[in-house]
Amino acid sequence: MKKGTMEIQEKLIQGNRACAEGAIAAGCRFFAGYPITPSTEIAEILAAELPKVGGKFIQMEDEIASLAAVIGASVAGVKSMTATSGPGFSLMQEHIGYAYMAEVPCVIINVQRGGPSTGLPTKVAQADTMQARWGTHGDYFAIAVAPSSVAECFDFTIRAFNLAEKYRTPVIVLADEVVGHMREKIALPDPDEIRITNRIKPTVPPEWYQHFEINPHFVSPMASFGEGYRFNVTGLMHDPFGFPTEKSEEIKQKLDKLKNKIMHNLNDIIQVRQEFMEDATIAVFAYGIVARAAREAVRMAREKRIKAGLIQPLTIWPFPDAYLEHILEQLDLMVVAELNQGQLIGEVMRVNRGKTRVRGLNRYDSELITPDQIFEKIREEK
């Protein structure tokens, strides 16, 4: 490795550590959480690392209070996050909803394990896929990103913070037990090379300030507590000032705003990785750790002259409707491989509307889907 300022640091680390280091690189300076397998390492690492950079860590009494503290810290102007797994993710839904409604940037990492309920604390699953979209009550539009490697745990945690800050919304990192616990060598970028987005601050004087201003970008500038703006924040339906409202036109305006800030920026938010798709007539659709088995299966298929390709959504929510609508036209078969009884396949079928054959490959016995299984499925169905 060359010496000098551009030296790239290589490290053999765990996915959960990469999430923690990505958070610090993104500017996160507050973590509140509650111990839960298989995400606990993120809390442990940040308990040690955050104070070194002047940040703060607190272990709360439960996951409900954890996300409450995270939102409070963000409203006070500090980039904040928590990390959890299934049961804790369920408890956090109340405050994920609050963060949508109050438009508070924050990051929630869900290192998925098997469920329902206490389920399988140390085993892998992707069964919170739909919960990441529809977990809390009411109408809202979610952003969730899904890493499939240790390097992506680092990169996607940074991306989650950038999206949260840019769109004033909670962002979910949908990892899983294998990605969180496996160790890989990653090249940590030079801190100066990392692109960081910060929330837009108001430029108007306090008397003009509206914490939920309606503007053409749908994202309102965000002052912090203690900066002289003295705004109100509430989980009640509110007007642009943040005061409770029951006026139908203000209610619609607010819910449209929550929708539009996501749906008008899909090109910025959605990322899909595709491999061998140029001439593919068969595609495997898989996210997270399953995408890695799918990549190997596609290589195996190509060796047998089967025109297979991989579609890996890096952003799960919002779902890549437009991309799929286009690509499904060229396919004879789409295999949706996931570690659950069939969640994302419903989304694929919703977009498909009969364009091609969609088949599910589901594993929910706590073991990973293997490349052989996916390859066999391709051979069987083609």
Partner 1 sequence: MPIFSEVTHKYLRTKKKFPNVWCAGCGIGTVMGAIIRAIDNLKLSRDEVVMISGIGCSSRMPVYVDFNTLHTTHGRPLGYATGVKLAKPSLKVIVITGDGDALAIGGNHFIHSCRRNIDITTILINNSTYGMTGGQVAPTTPFMKIGTTAPYGNRERGFDIAKLAIAAGAPFVARGTVYHMVQLQKLVEQAILKKGFSLVEVISQCHTLYGRLNKEGGAVEMMKWQRDHAIPISAAGKVPPEKLRDKFLTGVLWDIDFPEYCEEYDKVIAQAQNPEGQG
Element (H, E) at 18: helix 15-26
Closest by Cα among 35, 97, 39 to 63: 35
- Nearest approach in angstroms of CB 56 to partner 1 is 5
Place of tokens 């994920």: 96
Segment interacting with partner 1, rule: CB under 8 A, options 180-188, 221-229, 265-273, 308-316: 221-229
Which of the ranges 73-81, 114-122, 125-133, 307-315 carries the binding residues for partner 1, by CB under 8 A?
73-81
Cβ neighbours, 10 Å, residue 66 = 27
C-beta of 117: minimal distance to partner 1 in Å? 20
Distance of closest approach, residue 369 Cβ to partner 1, in angstroms: 38
Rounded to 10 degrees, the C-alpha dihedral 167/91/173/180 comes to 160
Per-position x/- string for 27-66, each x denoting binding to partner 1 as judged by CB under 8 A, each - no binding: ---x-x---------------x--xx-x-x-x-xxx-xxx
Nearer to partner 1, 134 or 241 (CB): 241
Rounded to whole angstroms, the maximal C-alpha distance in the chain is 69
Site string for partner 1, 232-271 (x = CB under 8 A): xxxxx----x-xx---------------------------
* Binding of residue 208 to partner 1 (CB under 8 A): no
Per CB under 8 A, which region of 218-226, 247-255, 325-333, 371-379 contacts partner 1?
A: 218-226
Tell me the CA distances in angstroms from 29 to 49, 54, 82, 365, one per residue in order: 10, 7, 11, 38
What are phi and psi for residue 291, nearest 5 degrees?
-60, -30
- For residue 32, give the H/E element and its range: strand 30-33
Nearest distance, CB of residue 124 and partner 1, angstroms = 30
Instruction: Establish if 212 lies at the interface with partner 1 (CB under 8 A).
Output: no
CB of 61 to partner 1, least distance (A): 4
Subset of 91-110 contacting partner 1 (CB under 8 A): 94-95, 98
DSSP for residue 91: H
Nearest Cα to 153, choosing from 144, 164, 165, 145? 145
Element containing residue 334 per DSSP (H, E): strand 333-338
Q: How far is CA 26 from the centre of its chain?
A: 15
Asked if 312 interacts with partner 1 (CB under 8 A), we say no
> Rule CB under 8 A: which residues touch partner 1?
30, 32, 48, 51-52, 54, 56, 58, 60-62, 64-78, 80, 94-95, 98, 224-236, 241, 243-244
